[in-house]
Amino acid sequence: MAFALRLRLPGVPAFPLLGRPWIRGAIGVALFLAAGEAIGRMGLVSREDLPPTSDVLRALWQMVAVEGFGSDVLITTGNWLLGLAVAIAIGVPAGLLLGSVPILNSASRLAIDFLRPIPSVALIPLAILVLGTGTEMRVFVMVFAAIWPILFNTIYGLMEVDPLAKETARSFGAGRIRVALTVSLPSAAPFILTGIRLAATIALILEITAELLGGGGAGGIGKVINVATGGFGRMDVVLAATLVAGVIGLLANTMLEYVSRHGFAWAHTGAPS
């Protein structure tokens, strides 16, 4: 049961719009940007190290006006979506297989527990030596990092499937594969989508990191950050590019959350809003 505490001072009107999550989120972002502006203007930190928000937004406007920056954003977004798609294409079937066949789950557990803690960033130099600095290297690193939340959320989602539903399907002659596709997969879908949301953020981080460590030869937001820090020392450009990456991640997370809320509304029944 959820309890809500509402404070209202006498003579002060209520503001119903403040109860909407997007309004509260916008206020939080505005306060964060205002704090960045104040810190940059007050001289608490060197302006070259932490420029005020207005300088960052001005640099962002100048970057948007440059034709090449749009191409870099598209390169990052395209590689990121490709890496995420590959991770989904591998992670979901593998999770269904391991979650449906206990003997395979037990046999692969040691190898998975060995590979999963390996930092994906540590694999980037090796991946560069083997695959170069192009899309193949970036996709490999993203898939290695993003596949784990998808895989484990798929397995855990299968554990939550109602056994009675599976037995009912078997009683009507459905085989193991048909039960997995028609009963287990739809029931585990909210868990899988949660894993995809986590994987999307991880993949975006690894894509930009790979662009940074790979020298940015193949373009991308990481190339913009690399050039700004290496040759010009433009922290305002670095923060502006970082802001663009954050917006991309925010839009993706918002879209996936919308799909989760409206596509699997039954999974959120009774959940506090």
The pLDDT tens digits for 207-234 are 999 988 876 567 788 888 888 777 667 8
What is the SS3 assignment for 161? coil
Q: Which value, to the nearest 10 degrees, does the dihedral of the CA atoms of residues 99, 104, 110, 112 take? A: -50
5: its two tokens: 């505490």
What was the pLDDT predicted at 19? Answer: 56
If we measure between CA atoms, which residue out of 122, 150, 117, 80 comes closest to residue 213?
122
Supply angle C-alpha 252, 236, 69, rounded to 5.
Answer: 55
Distance CA 197, CA 187 (A): 17
pLDDT, tens only, 29-57: 788 778 777 877 777 777 777 788 888 88
Q: How confident is the model at residue 6 (pLDDT cuts 50, 70, 90)?
A: very low
**Average of per-residue pLDDT values in the chain:** 80
The region of weakest confidence among 70-79, 244-253, 258-267 is 258-267
CB 188 within 8 Å of CB 161: yes
Q: Which of 54-63, 78-87, 258-267 has the lowest mean pLDDT?
A: 258-267
Residue 99 pLDDT greater than 90, yes or no: no
Is there a contact between 98 and 155 (Cβ–Cβ < 8 Å)? yes
pLDDT of residue 105: 84
pTM for the model: 0.80
